[in-house]
């Protein structure tokens, strides 16, 4: 299962999650000794962060139950907003994120996209037998799974793909690169879970999010070719949080090595925001009103960004996105020589 981070926009990394990033969330329950040795007593911990190892580069947490409860869910489905990580669950495991999946944690253990050091934990609305059947008969499957049981946990392997089934309706997907660290955690025999990773103490503050990404040691050197002031700039800790209810509340916090680097990053963000506001196409389509709601500030070595949209603004945003999507589809049809409907021609 090739579960490396997918690119939605041009560059790789947790801050490039695109519009689909608004689908994520964090729900943390108290850990119950995931790192202890010996066979556990009672039910296994439902906290998905105990099922992935520590030492992570970035982690994204998606709460689809929270999103599904949002009044905007129907409109988001109509827009067919694509998320390639979720599409991977459909293609590789036969899971339907819109109907069956409750929560997803995607943990990446390398800044290099090709390293395949990834662990995906999925909690859903299914029985253990049902999810096994779904994964066994999933689409785009090649070859049969080799099935075994370790400490009461079903562990399936096929080529480089590895799937583990936890009794509380949770499945852990990884590959042979990471399975040596993941299997001991899932069977609760040994190991240090992501839940105890000191670099990710920030996740404790994100429990009410619909989407959260936390990343560490993010090198901005690749952007230095385009923005020289970002050369040799490193983000020690990056936190992105979206909370979607009837309104949208989004926060970004970047902790830099020192105040000088924070000043550089703040300036770049302010300039980029102002240029975006003044783009003719942005003003023509009416998106400038949403950029006006963005604020950027700095305190010592920390840069923060914030976006708050009211219910009325969100309604306007969805209307504009729907209109923009219709324009794109009409343009594609006209380029292909297909006739436009009266609505598309307007």
pLDDT in tens, 312-336: 999 999 998 888 887 877 787 777 7
The answer on 187 and 64 residing in a single domain is yes
The DSSP call for residue 53 is B
| pLDDT tens-digit readout, 19-61 | 233 222 222 222 222 233 333 333 344 478 788 888 888 888 8
The answer on 282 and 176 residing in a single domain is no
The answer on 19 and 162 residing in a single domain is yes
Name 173's bridge partners. Answer: 120, 163
Compute the C-alpha angle 242/31/245, nearest 5°. Answer: 20
CA distance 131 to 266: 46
Beta strands in the chain (DSSP E): 58-63, 101-108, 118-124, 146-150, 153-158, 161-166, 170-175, 211-219, 234-244, 248-256, 294-299, 302-309
The total of other beta-carbon atoms located within 10 Å of residue 326's CB is 14
- Asked if residue 328 is part of any domain, the answer here is yes
Cα radius of gyration rounded to whole Å, the chain: 21
The answer on 148 and 294 residing in a single domain is no
| pLDDT tens-digit readout, 235-253 | 999 999 999 999 999 999 9
- Asked if residue 203 is part of any domain, the answer here is no
The answer on 188 and 96 residing in a single domain is yes
- Cβ proximity of 184 and 40 under 8 Å: no
Q: Which of 169, 196, 223 is the last residue of a domain?
A: 196
- Asked if residue 47 is part of any domain, the answer here is yes
CA distance 305 to 334: 39
- Asked if residue 201 is part of any domain, the answer here is no
The answer on 123 and 42 residing in a single domain is yes
Total domain count, the chain: 2
- Asked if residue 245 is part of any domain, the answer here is no
How many Cα atoms within 13 Å fall on the side-chain side of residue 112? 3
CA distance 256 to 261: 6
- Asked if residue 114 is part of any domain, the answer here is yes
- Asked if residue 25 is part of any domain, the answer here is yes
Q: What is the pLDDT of residue 127?
A: 80
The answer on 37 and 141 residing in a single domain is yes
Task: Please tell me which of 84-88, 200-204, 237-241, 304-308 the model is most confident about, judged by mean pLDDT.
Answer: 304-308
The answer on 270 and 163 residing in a single domain is no
User: Which range of residues forms the domain containing residue 319?
Assistant: 258-334
Q: Which of 156, 179, 196 is the last residue of a domain?
A: 196
- Residue 96, C-beta contacts closer than 8 angstroms, at least 6 positions apart: 90
Asked whether the predicted pLDDT for residue 262 surpasses 50, the reply is: yes
| pLDDT tens-digit readout, 76-135 | 877 765 556 556 656 655 666 667 788 888 999 988 767 789 999 988 888 888 888 878
Q: Which of 156, 177, 196 is the last residue of a domain?
A: 196
The answer on 164 and 21 residing in a single domain is yes
| pLDDT tens-digit readout, 166-194 | 887 889 999 999 999 999 988 886 777 87
The answer on 275 and 166 residing in a single domain is no
Higher-confidence position of 266 and 151 = 266
Asked whether the predicted pLDDT for residue 11 surpasses 90, the reply is: no
- Cβ proximity of 203 and 26 under 8 Å: yes
- Which residue in 56, 32, 54 sits closest to 191, CA to CA? 54
- Asked if residue 231 is part of any domain, the answer here is no
Helix (H) or strand (E) holding 328: helix 311-335
């Amino acid at each position: 299962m090739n579960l490396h981070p997918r690119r939605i926009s041009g560059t790789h990394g947790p801050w490039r999650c695109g519009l689909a990033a608004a689908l994520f969330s964090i729900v943390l329950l108290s850990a119950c000794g995931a790192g202890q040795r010996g066979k556990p007593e009672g039910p296994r911990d439902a906290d998905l962060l105990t099922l992935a190892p520590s030492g992570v580069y970035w982690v994204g947490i998606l709460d689809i139950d929270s999103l599904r409860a949002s009044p905007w869910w129907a409109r988001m489905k109509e827009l067919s907003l694509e998320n390639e990580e979720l599409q991977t669950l459909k293609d590789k495991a036969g899971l339907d994120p819109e109907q069956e999946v409750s929560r997803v944690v995607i943990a990446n253990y390398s800044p290099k996209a090709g390293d395949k050091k990834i662990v995906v934990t999925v909690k859903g609305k299914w029985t253990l037998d049902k999810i096994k059947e779904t994964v066994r008969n999933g689409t785009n499957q090649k070859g049969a799974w080799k099935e075994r049981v370790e400490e009461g946990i079903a562990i399936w392997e096929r080529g480089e793909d590895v799937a583990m089934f936890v009794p509380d309706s949770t499945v852990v997907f990884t590959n042979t690169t990471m399975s040596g660290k993941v299997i001991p955690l899932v069977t609760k025999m040994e190991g240090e879970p992501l839940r105890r990773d000191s670099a990710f103490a920030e996740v404790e503050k994100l429990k009410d999010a619909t989407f959260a990404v936390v990343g560490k040691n993010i090198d901005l050197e690749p952007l230095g070719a385009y923005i020289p002031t970002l050369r040799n700039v490193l983000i020690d800790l990056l936190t992105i949080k979206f909370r979607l209810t009837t309104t949208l509340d989004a926060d970004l916090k970047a902790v830099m090595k020192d105040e000088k680097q924070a000043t550089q990053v703040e300036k770049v963000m302010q300039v980029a925001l102002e240029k975006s506001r003044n783009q003719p196409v942005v003003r023509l389509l009416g998106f400038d009103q949403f950029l006006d709601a963005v604020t950027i500030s700095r305190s010592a070595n920390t840069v923060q960004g914030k976006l708050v949209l009211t219910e009325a603004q969100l309604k306007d945003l969805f209307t504009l996105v729907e209109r923009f999507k219709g324009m794109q589809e009409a343009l594609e049809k006209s380029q292909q020589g297909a006739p436009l409907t009266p609505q598309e021609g307007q």
